[in-house]
């Protein structure tokens, strides 16, 4: 009888993941990562209006074409996809499915628009789609527990007993005091029955037995109520935290994608709250800050700081959520596994049917996963406009403060070197000083910028009516569109 092959161990699964990661977009060891990361970082810097080429002399003004184009498109996208009650539509397959499709559509719209901040989610996702080659939605079921601290005052023994019967309740503080308005209560013995005492003899010589009474007590208590409920959630993934198989020849995450990973910082406390048993000394992987992190951080923020925390439960580790196709059971057919990995430890591993990620691209490229975002299409316009704007402003500066040509024998040079409005220049002959005023070309610079702005709008498909909603544009909007 042929021996059944043994399934892959966690160590073997980690080796397969490492090999797939080396051939993915976003991997620190992939040759494509640095170019893709630098592209995304440059676009973010242009979007934020950072001065990428500071000038030692003259103007340092920066054009904001990328920001203006992206912000001009977002209102129209949000009006179409994040407004109204028909965010989700499920089409019936046959006539028999019409009523069911309507009910399921109504439920899905309620789920997305009521239980989730859909407008904020879509706005973040659409901004990523316009400024990065890809943007990602992750749909998942959150199993994180919730903790509520509750306080109750003036509780009787019966009320307190009913309160503590709930298995989700834990008593963390209590204070008792005498209840003056309540009759005495019998004392309960070790066996759970009222304690009795002999108070005398009856006329027949039999002892008279009565329960031992004590003053009634009230209790002020503090309880911790711990509950864990599953909730369907949608999350926008930062593109720089995503790794995708290079052989995914579509901007979508579909069956052609054999490897997808999203990683983030999390604390050991958060992992335990999700039901994972992890030790304080759990080993971690080494991930460094990406160029995109540096571009996004405008105020000196730090990311991926894995230094040991004073509180072991708050120590941060890199949690990697991975979907990979691998023949884990060695039957010759690869299965799609969902894996949660921290360092070399596999915390969770399950076979699934699909990768619950929706990818978007503002301008997809055929047969490739990364697209060409709108911000990349107009990035050169911002660079050109920045140079034109600086030259135009420098022309104004020279026109207002032109160069001086003078004869030092008749003009005080020290006075001439002082350049401020209304300054005095001492001279024995005013004809021995003149100003070399350059041609005023600022209007031509503005015309050049307008031409380049029109080029950017043509590339992005943006017009003045999309940039803002005012009273004149409202007349051009048809209801229901």
Dihedral pair phi/psi, residue 443, rounded to 5°: -60, -40
Contact 127, 67 (CB under 8 A): no
Q: How far is CA 14 from CA 188, 286, 331, 358, in A?
A: 60, 15, 19, 25
pLDDT score, position 287? 67
pLDDT at 477 over 50: no
pLDDT score, position 401? 81
pLDDT score, position 474? 40
* Residue that wins the pLDDT comparison between 95 and 200: 95
Contact 179, 217 (CB under 8 A): yes
Kindly report the pTM of this predicted structure: 0.79
pLDDT score, position 311? 87
pLDDT at 386 over 90: yes
pLDDT at 473 over 70: no
Quick: pLDDT tens for 132-181.
999 999 999 887 778 899 999 989 888 898 999 998 899 999 999 888 88
* Longest Cα separation, the chain: 144
436 burial level (CB within 10 Å; 0-12, 13-18, 19+): exposed
Quick: pLDDT tens for 14-67.
999 999 998 899 887 766 678 888 999 999 999 999 998 898 888 999 999 999
Sequence-separated contacts (24+) of 36-41 with Cβ below 8 Å: 36/133, 36/370, 37/240, 37/290, 37/291, 37/292, 38/291, 39/133, 39/376, 40/132, 40/133, 40/239, 40/240, 40/291, 40/292, 40/295, 41/290, 41/291, 41/292, 41/294, 41/295
Contact 87, 114 (CB under 8 A): no
Average of pLDDT values for 417-431? 78
**Measured between alpha carbons, how far is 225 from 227 in angstroms, rounded to an integer?**
7
DSSP state of 9: P
466 band by pLDDT with thresholds 50, 70 and 90: low
pLDDT score, position 464? 66
Q: How far is CA 45 from CA 25, 374, 382, 467, in A?
A: 21, 15, 11, 21
Contact 434, 40 (CB under 8 A): no
For residue 66 the two structure tokens come to 């990328």
pLDDT score, position 303? 57
Tell me the β-bridge partners of 171.
223
pLDDT at 111 over 70: yes
Quick: pLDDT tens for 247-290.
999 999 999 899 999 999 999 998 988 888 999 888 887 667 78
Contact 390, 458 (CB under 8 A): no
200 band by pLDDT with thresholds 50, 70 and 90: confident
**Measured between alpha carbons, how far is 436 from 49 in angstroms, rounded to an integer?**
34
pLDDT score, position 445? 93
Neighbours of 24 (CB within 10 A): 24
* Residue that wins the pLDDT comparison between 119 and 181: 119
Neighbours of 281 (CB within 10 A): 8
Q: How far apart are the first and last CA of the chain?
A: 68
For residue 239 the two structure tokens come to 């593109």
Q: How far is CA 394 from CA 59, 207, 427, 439, 451, in A?
A: 6, 114, 29, 12, 20
Element (H, E) at 67: helix 65-81
Q: What is the mean pLDDT of the chain?
A: 86
**Radius of gyration over alpha carbons of the chain, in Å?**
36
133 burial level (CB within 10 Å; 0-12, 13-18, 19+): buried
Contact 10, 346 (CB under 8 A): yes
* Residue that wins the pLDDT comparison between 295 and 473: 295
pLDDT score, position 132? 95
pLDDT score, position 342? 94
CA dihedral 239, 242, 247, 251 (to 10 degrees): -40
- Quick one: which of 134, 71, 131 has its CA closest to 357? 134
Phi-psi region of 198 (alpha: psi -120 to 50; beta: other; left: phi over 0): beta
């Amino acid at each position: 009888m042929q021996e059944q092959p043994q399934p892959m161990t966690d160590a073997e699964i980690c080796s397969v993941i490492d090999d797939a990661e080396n051939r993915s977009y976003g991997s620190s060891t992939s040759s494509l990562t640095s170019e893709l990361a630098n592209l995304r970082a440059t676009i973010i810097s242009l979007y934020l209006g950072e001065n990428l080429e500071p000038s030692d002399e003259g103007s340092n003004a920066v054009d904001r074409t990328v920001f203006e184009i992206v912000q001009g498109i977002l209102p129209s996208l949000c009006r179409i996809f994040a407004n109204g009650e028909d965010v989700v539509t499920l089409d019936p397959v046959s006539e028999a499915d019409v009523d069911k499709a309507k009910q399921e559509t109504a439920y899905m719209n309620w789920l997305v628009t009521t239980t989730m901040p859909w407008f904020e989610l879509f706005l973040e996702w659409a901004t990523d789609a316009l400024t990065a080659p890809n943007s990602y939605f992750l749909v998942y079921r959150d199993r994180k527990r919730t903790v509520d601290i509750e306080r109750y005052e003036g509780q009787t023994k019966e009320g307190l007993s009913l309160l503590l019967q709930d298995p989700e309740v834990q008593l963390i503080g209590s204070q008792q005091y005498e209840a003056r308005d309540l009759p005495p209560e019998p004392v309960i013995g070790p066996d759970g029955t009222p304690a009795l005492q002999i108070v005398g003899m009856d006329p027949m010589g039999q002892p008279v037995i009565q329960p031992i009474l004590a003053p009634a007590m009230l209790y002020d208590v503090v309880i911790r109520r711990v509950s864990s409920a599953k909730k369907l959630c949608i999350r926008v993934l930062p593109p720089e935290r995503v790794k995708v198989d290079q052989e995914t020849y579509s901007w979508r995450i579909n069956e052609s994608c054999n490897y997808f990973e999203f990683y983030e910082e999390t604390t050991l406390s958060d992992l335990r709250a999700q039901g994972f048993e992890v030790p304080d000394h759990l080993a971690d992987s080494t991930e460094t800050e990406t160029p995109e992190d540096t571009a996004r951080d405008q105020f000196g923020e730090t990311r991926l700081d894995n230094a040991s925390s004073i509180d072991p439960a708050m120590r941060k580790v890199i949690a990697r959520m991975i979907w990979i196709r691998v023949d884990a059971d060695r039957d010759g057919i690869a299965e799609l596994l969902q894996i949660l990995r921290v360092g070399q430890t596999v915390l969770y591993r399950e076979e699934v049917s699909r990768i619950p990620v929706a990818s978007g691209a503002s301008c997809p490229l055929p047969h490739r996963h990364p697209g060409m975002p709108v911000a990349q299409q107009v990035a050169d316009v911002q660079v050109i406009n920045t140079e034109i704007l600086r030259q135009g402003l420098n022309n104004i500066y020279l026109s207002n403060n032109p160069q001086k040509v003078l004869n030092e024998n008749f003009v005080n040079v020290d006075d001439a070197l002082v350049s401020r409005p209304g300054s005095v220049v001492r001279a024995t002959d005013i004809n021995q000083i003149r100003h070399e005023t350059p041609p005023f070309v600022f209007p031509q610079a503005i015309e050049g910028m307008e031409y380049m702005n029109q080029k950017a709008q043509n590339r992005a498909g943006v017009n003045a009516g999309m940039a803002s909603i005012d009273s004149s544009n409202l007349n051009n909007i048809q209801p229901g569109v």
